[in-house]
Amino acid sequence: MTKTPDAPDTTVPGGTAAPVSAAALPELRRRVQAVLVATQILGGLGIATGVALAAVLATEVSGTDALAGLASTATVAGPALLAMPLAALMARRGRRAGLVLAYLLGALGAGIAVLGAVLGSFPVMLVGLVGFGAGSSANLAARFAAADLAEPDRRARAISTVVWATTIGAVLGPNIAAPAGRSVSGLGIPVAAGPFLWAAVVFVVSALVVALLLRPDPLLTARALAAAEGDGTADRPEDRSLRAGLRAVRESPRARIALVTVAASQTVMVSIMSMTPVALTHHGAGIELIGLVISVHIAGMYAFSPVMGWLSDRLGRLAVIGLAVGLLGFAALLAGTAGASHTRVAAGLFVLGLGWSAGLVSGSALLTDSVPQAARAAVQGLSDTVMNTAAGVGGLVAGVIVSQAGYGPLNAIAACLLLPMAALALRGALRRA
């Protein structure tokens, strides 16, 4: 049975969908991308509104800078803990089920974080931030949903378009953190917790958009297309398991390069970005200036991702991974030597965002290229688990480093994390030469 883009989502046993016709596929790609772009805008707004003040809220509730890094650790712990269960759910039920669950968990977590702030309970707040991070899981998983139906030579651009869509919400988010905080001042809620209340509402709306409009499901459709083209492994459940994903990574040197790339890029970015608000407050910056600096950083992360996608498709994934190393290293140099210069910190954070974008887009495309279609959901979940676990540890250690040594040494240590990424990318390029 042929399924058109306007038909209801029809699955068959084994977690597959009826394949679409060749004529209907371009329209389906556009429709899926439009829905993902809309949810990225909303999700980016919710995430950025909360993240802008996560470290500040943690400092206020805990009473010490040393524990501020736990806020970023908690927000990335959510995606790390959820990535594999989310991948397993997507492998069975498709992208839509996983994205809806992640957004709803993000909304619940944001509400718990607000409750923790009201109660003055640091542990409750941290639990909430873990759940809040689930919203990031949805936005991260959406980039792979964009790749499900993309042509191989346009895969990086498909990923980057969805990543770019986050720009609108993500840049706006930190700048509405202040009014979001003021809006709850009469409710007995701390100002720094207000953005999380707004984020909860945004995540619920995102879940509704996905549930109602992401039809037919891109992953199930891609699996059906692979089966229709004669790929007999596409319909075997055992080929979608975590074990199959681990095996696929072991058998692919390029998949390992991709894993290291996304993990290192995320860890360097989170470690530096999460402690920048704290460093700025030490140099007299207020909430508005902090929001502006984080907005500049997020603009670097997302606004230029189409450029990174185009470069990845034209020059190759490994070349853009090399670019990511250079940009991230330069960002650490700028921010780490900024001292009291707010302008230089902002410039460093902007370049940091560019480097993260280059690493995420090229690494995600390389990972998708390097493993069989049936194992992709599991491998992608493994990638997000590794990426967010590493970043969570980085955020935790970053708080300790800043409290004991300062913001400059943090940037120097973060730059050292780029060495394995650079070495593997160079080795991969030499092998292909």
pLDDT, residue 419, reads 94
Question: Is 273 or 20 the better-scoring residue by pLDDT?
Answer: 273
User: For 149-201, what is each residue's pLDDT tens digit?
Assistant: 888 888 999 999 988 887 777 767 767 777 777 777 777 788 778 888 888 99
Q: Residue 11 falls within a domain, yes or no?
A: no
- In angstroms, the CA 358 to CA 28 distance is 27
What DSSP element (H or E) covers 147?
helix 134-148
CATH number, position 161: 1.20.1250.20
Question: Is 363 or 385 the better-scoring residue by pLDDT?
Answer: 363
Q: Residue 10 falls within a domain, yes or no?
A: no
Whether the per-residue pLDDT at 268 is higher than 90: the answer is: yes
Question: Is 203 or 47 the better-scoring residue by pLDDT?
Answer: 203
Q: Residue 8 falls within a domain, yes or no?
A: no
Task: Work out the end-to-end distance of the chain between its first and last CA atoms, rounded to an integer number of angstroms.
Answer: 45
- In angstroms, the CA 409 to CA 188 distance is 38
Q: Residue 74 falls within a domain, yes or no?
A: yes
Range of the domain at 86: 20-432
Under DSSP, the state recorded for 252 is -
339-373 in b/e form (b: 16+ CB < 10 A) is: eeebeebbbbbbbbbbbbbbbbbbbbbbbbbbbbb
CA distances from 171 to 47, 122, 295, 297, 300 (A): 10, 28, 5, 8, 10
- Coil, strand or helix: which one is 184? coil
Q: What is the DSSP string of 7-54?
A: SPP-EETTTEEPPPPTTTHHHHHHHHHHHHHHHHHHHHHHHHHHHTTH
Q: Residue 6 falls within a domain, yes or no?
A: no
Do the beta carbons of residue 362 and residue 317 sit within 8 Å? yes
Number of domains in the chain: 1
Q: Residue 14 falls within a domain, yes or no?
A: no
Q: Residue 2 falls within a domain, yes or no?
A: no
| pTM of the entire predicted model | 0.79
Whether the per-residue pLDDT at 234 is higher than 70: the answer is: no
Cβ atoms within 10 Å of 330's Cβ, excluding its own: 17
Q: Residue 5 falls within a domain, yes or no?
A: no
